[in-house]
Structure 1
Amino acid sequence: MGVGNLLLSAAILFSGNTYARMQDISDYLKLPILCKSQFYALQKRYLFPVINETWISCQIGVLDGLSREPKMVLSGDGRCDSPGHSAKYGTYSLMDVDTGLIVDFVVLNKADPSVKNSNAMEPMGLKQCLSNMKKWNISINILTTDRHKTVRKILRVEFPEITHQFDLWHFCKSIIKKIIKAWGKK
């Protein structure tokens, strides 16, 4: 394997680009690059393991430091790979509000038997992240999320010790919708 192929694969991945975009650029330049299967093989064999190892190392350091804090203020949100109700993959992330560090995240797949549908991915992700926080003995005082109904119920029923607050942006967005709806009726 050439070092250039590995570096090019890393550059594409770490810059957030896709192989297809890089292939288009190389075609215009008449610049030969590694083939698609080689690109994905390099990602799988070398890049993903390094990324995973680095993430775990950093997460352990962050969680170890945060576990000494008496109470944490976190913010959580889910994100899906496509809009609407047809997402195949989703992530849920928890961020420490004071430091801006991501303390945990999970990747969810609609094909997982424990995930009923794409709407269930956000609540499932939240539960997994909060379970991980308990494993690390991290006490959460306040958690800010969007206004997802199932998330509200989970926090109210399963985690009553956590003060649940709404993200101001989502809260204002819902108020604006109600005002617009009320004005439309008059």
Structure 2
Amino acid sequence: MKYVVFNSQLKQLFNKCLGDNQCAAPVVELDYRHKGSLVIVNGTCLHNHHFEWRSQPLSNKMAIGNLLLAASILYSGNTYTTAAEIFDTFKLKFFSENDFYYIQRKYLLPVVNSMWNSQQQQLLSEYEGNTDLIVAGDGRSDSPGHSAVVKVTEVNNSYSMEKEGLIRCLNQLEEAHVTVTTLATDRHPQISKLMKDEYSTISHQYDVWHMSKSIKKKLAAAAKRRECAELQPWIKSIGNHFWWCSDSCNGDAIELKCWENYQVYCHTGDLEVFHNVLLKNVPKRIAFRYEGTVARTLLAALDNNTNVGRKQATTISGEKRWKLQWSKASHQFVVKKINDPKEFTFRTDLLNATLDMHKSGSETEQSAIKIPVLARNSTGRGEKPFKTEAIEGLISRLGKNE
């Protein structure tokens, strides 16, 4: 357990000598030093006895509190900037940005990568030899210029990034002897062509949710015309009917008529949930280095895998819990299930693994996230000028305009 202690309260602990002799004489001199969140108090009593007190235990000359605090920032999906603003507002002693990224690079990223590799190997071994495996896939593009696991410089253009990501995923599953029988995606043209030409043994199905959303969007646009206004009250029912058709056709494409890519009832709802978790750990509007992006993506995966399939919460009497929530899409209140609270045991496991790695000094290159050699983004930029020259040029231009 840890506590926040005010300086005025801390001083009350050092009224009397804490030296080895325990003479209890009045303290006549106190000196405070800080190393991040660690405070070191050196005191001298009336009898010239000296003592030293630390607010945190040390491990290999590093304050444990600094290590765990840096780890907690990353493992909870937050950023140094956000934490630093909170600490600065509260006037709480904190370590520097350089110290944070040193700890992250040396200990935190290897721990995240190591834990994910262990979980991934376990999952792959469970699915090895499974002949009825259905997987879902979807891409997530970061803002222009920001880091991504597949960078635009690795492919011809940004449109091809999702295709390249899928190829890597399918190849990795094949190398792990995991057989994919059905893949559910959105209607990305490159993905459709890729599956037809190079992965014809895999049944490629379109996500029912995306198609239903597309149908309702087109119907909503048509209903705005005066001659089609009567469509409006039927839009939701038509979308629901499409879901029912895909679910009840029993895999028969003929019964589903022309909708052959919807004959296996598939949707990427769980994947959308993961994307929400990913958005917390890897916000699109914040630029991260490559290894930081990978580690935060793995943290989102650990979070998702820990909490996937949560049951619906119940009251003390055993009744299932529900809530009413306003839907922007349907412009009405809809009923939503309330799930059991999320569990974050993986964060505790990560913190314990961080302590173990630091105490044993066992950080290895095998645990580090490998950074591929990538071409730099080529967005028509010229050579970066020296900062002093750019400033002189700006001042010169401003002077001419006065």
More strand by share: 1
**2:118 counterpart of 1:57:** yes
TM-score by length of 2: 0.39
The alpha-carbon deviation at position 162 of structure 1 amounts to: 0.8
The alpha-carbon deviation at position 2 of structure 1 amounts to: 1.6
Name which one, 1 or 2, has greater alpha-carbon Rg: 2
1:136 to 161, 167, 176: 176
**2:188 counterpart of 1:127:** no
Which whole-Å CA distance do the structure 2 matches of 1:120 and 1:89 have between them?
Answer: 16
Q: Within 5 A, what are the aligned runs for 1:69-148? A: 69-82=130-143, 86=144, 88-90=146-148, 107-111=149-153, 114-148=154-188
The alpha-carbon deviation at position 177 of structure 1 amounts to: 2.5
1:176 to 193, 216, 220: 216
Paired amino acid for 1:78: G
The alpha-carbon deviation at position 117 of structure 1 amounts to: 2.6
Name 2:207's counterpart in structure 1: 167
Which whole-Å CA distance do the structure 2 matches of 1:162 and 1:62 have between them?
Answer: 21
Which whole-Å CA distance do the structure 2 matches of 1:118 and 1:37 have between them?
Answer: 33
The alpha-carbon deviation at position 59 of structure 1 amounts to: 0.8
User: Does the C-alpha gap of structure 1 residues 163 and 89 become closer, same or farther in structure 2, counting only changes over 3 Å?
Assistant: farther
Paired amino acid for 1:178: K
Secondary structure of residue in 2 paired with 1:31? coil
Name 1:150's counterpart in structure 2: 190
Q: Within 5 A, what are the aligned runs for 1:21-40? A: 21-40=82-101
Structure 2 unpaired stretches of 5+ = 1-61, 228-402
Which whole-Å CA distance do the structure 1 matches of 2:169 and 2:156 have between them?
Answer: 18
RMSD (Å) for aligned C-alpha atoms: 1.7
Which whole-Å CA distance do the structure 2 matches of 1:182 and 1:70 have between them?
Answer: 44
8 Å Cα contact 1:123/1:150 also seen in 2:
yes
Paired amino acid for 1:34: F
Which whole-Å CA distance do the structure 2 matches of 1:117 and 1:63 have between them?
Answer: 31
More displaced, 168-177 or 49-58?
Answer: 168-177
8 Å Cα contact 2:131/2:179 also seen in 1:
yes
The alpha-carbon deviation at position 70 of structure 1 amounts to: 1.9
Secondary structure of residue in 1 paired with 2:140? strand
TM-score by length of 1: 0.82
What's the CA shift string for 1:98-123, capped at 9, x where partnerless? Answer: xxxxxxxxx21223xx3223222211
More displaced, 167-176 or 32-41?
Answer: 167-176
Secondary structure of residue in 2 paired with 1:74? strand
| 4+ long deviations beyond 4 Å | none
The alpha-carbon deviation at position 77 of structure 1 amounts to: 1.4
The alpha-carbon deviation at position 42 of structure 1 amounts to: 0.8
The alpha-carbon deviation at position 88 of structure 1 amounts to: 3.6
User: Does the C-alpha gap of structure 1 residues 73 and 87 become closer, same or farther in structure 2, counting only changes over 3 Å?
Assistant: farther
8 Å Cα contact 2:184/2:207 also seen in 1:
yes
Which whole-Å CA distance do the structure 1 matches of 2:173 and 2:126 have between them?
Answer: 13
8 Å Cα contact 1:87/1:118 also seen in 2:
no
1:67 to 103, 118, 128: 128
8 Å Cα contact 2:129/2:177 also seen in 1:
no
Which whole-Å CA distance do the structure 2 matches of 1:154 and 1:130 have between them?
Answer: 12
Which whole-Å CA distance do the structure 2 matches of 1:127 and 1:154 have between them?
Answer: 9
More displaced, 176-185 or 161-170?
Answer: 176-185
What's the CA shift string for 1:53-95, capped at 9, x where partnerless? Answer: 111111111111101312311111111223xxx36444xxxxx
